[in-house]
Amino acid sequence: MGRNGHEPLPVENQGLPMSVTDGLENEEPDRGQWTGKFDFLMSMIAYAVGLGNVWRFPYLCFKNGGGSFLVVYAIFFCLAAVPIFIMEVTIGQYLQKGAMEMWRMCPIFKGVGIGNVVIAFMCIAYFCVIVSWAIFYMVSSFNSVFPWESCDNYWLVYILCFYFLFTFIFSPINCFVSHFRNDKTCVTGKENATYLDQILKNLSPGVKTQTSVEQFWEKAIMNFLCHQEEYGTKKSSGRPSKLNNRGKRKILRTASNSTISINEIRRTCVIDASKTTVWRMLDKCPNIVRSRMKKCPQLTQRHKDERLHWAKIFMRCDWEKVIFSDETKFNLDGPDGCHSYWRDLPRDVVGGSVMVWDAFSAMGLVDLAFVLMKMNRADYQDVLGHRLVPYVQRFPGVSFTFQQDNATIHASRRTKTWLQDNSVTLWTGHSALRT
């Protein structure tokens, strides 16, 4: 027999002594019971429906397509949300466990319980903000001076707001109107707003006037809901800027990694803005800064004298048999040697530089070689072996003279020995081109 004398024993307790089953019954906690179906229904509605359904859903439905969004929402609500909700409530009632413990019956769905707890925490924080708005609005309604009573608030459009503040400004006008009405008293309050409304409509037909209460709702409440990320940002005072978004982008593209001046930027972009305006716009851009270029070796008077002396000596040289060579570095952020330039910071991350070596003569070009930024004499000899030697071998009857500068890897003893071993005639020592 069962616990009441009428119900059969549970399967797991059948065959056990009565004393054992009595102990199990005594340890079983009492289940909570609903007082009725209405109590259960209202509890489920309270769990499923919150302030956000009334506050946010109409706005989100309107913003995302209106009726079309509502149809898709209703389909997924019936096919997915309601079945999952009923399943969760049913399993939770049967096991008497919370969201974290309930889904442990299937380890693969353990993350569902964790997700429910996280979402519940986020909803609580979110609705705390919404409730604070409602409480602020309600508390403001009990103040003796309403925040929407005057037109001197930051959210109002002064031209259209007239109800209270313009009452005092246009009092002389009302007195003037009252004089022609043979009335010795000045109208005030709401009648004053009506007169002002008529005056504005007569001056500008089609103008839409609003009271300060209407503007508080549209400019403060509704504007906050539509532009929450932009709410509270203070707009700069003064006249509008002469540079629109398109002009600003054009200036940034022109100045990016360039050495041109502000006036050259103005002439290139053909904009009607002052030099200070362009400079201020570039200075506000976080991605472009004014940086100094690396200094290059200066051409001293000694270098000039040596080059002039060299030119006088080698005026009758056979230049068709001279191979000129050099290395150079190409930068993606502007050439070296300039004093300063507009540096684009994001491009520096993907930018860089490359070092190349090449040579040429009257017979043609030597194959271009990409070399390391810091070469040693072994690397330089490898480049000469793969580029210079094949070029010389293409012209067996020509006796070339190889020219290079006085870099350390060029003037080293082992490099000179390598050139002699490969029958490459080097340029004589006192050349100004090697300085």
Annotated binding-site members for Na(+): 48-49, 53
Within 10 angstroms of residue 27's Cβ, the number of other Cβ atoms is: 7
d(CA 205, CA 208): 9
Q: Which H or E run includes 292?
A: strand 288-292
Within 10 angstroms of residue 203's Cβ, the number of other Cβ atoms is: 8
Q: In the block, which residue shows the tokens 């002002």?
A: 196
d(CA 100, CA 32): 20
- At residue 134, what are phi and psi to the nearest 5 degrees? -65, -40
Task: Quote the crossing angle between the two packed helices 275-284 and 262-269, to the nearest 10°.
Answer: 100
- At residue 145, what are phi and psi to the nearest 5 degrees? -115, 115
- Residue 241 corresponds to which tokens in the numbers above? 């800027």
d(CA 358, CA 154): 67
- Residue 422 corresponds to which tokens in the numbers above? 């490969």
DSSP string, 344-413: EHHHHHH--EEEEEEEEETTEEPPPEEE-SS--HHHHHHHIIIIIHHHHHT-TT---EEE----HHHHSH
Task: Quote the crossing angle between the two packed helices 245-255 and 275-284, to the nearest 10°.
Answer: 80
Q: Which residues have CB under 8 Å from 34's CB, separation 6+?
A: 40, 43
Binding-site annotation: residue ranges? 48-49, 53
DSSP string, 92-113: HHHHT--HHHHGGGSGGGHHHH
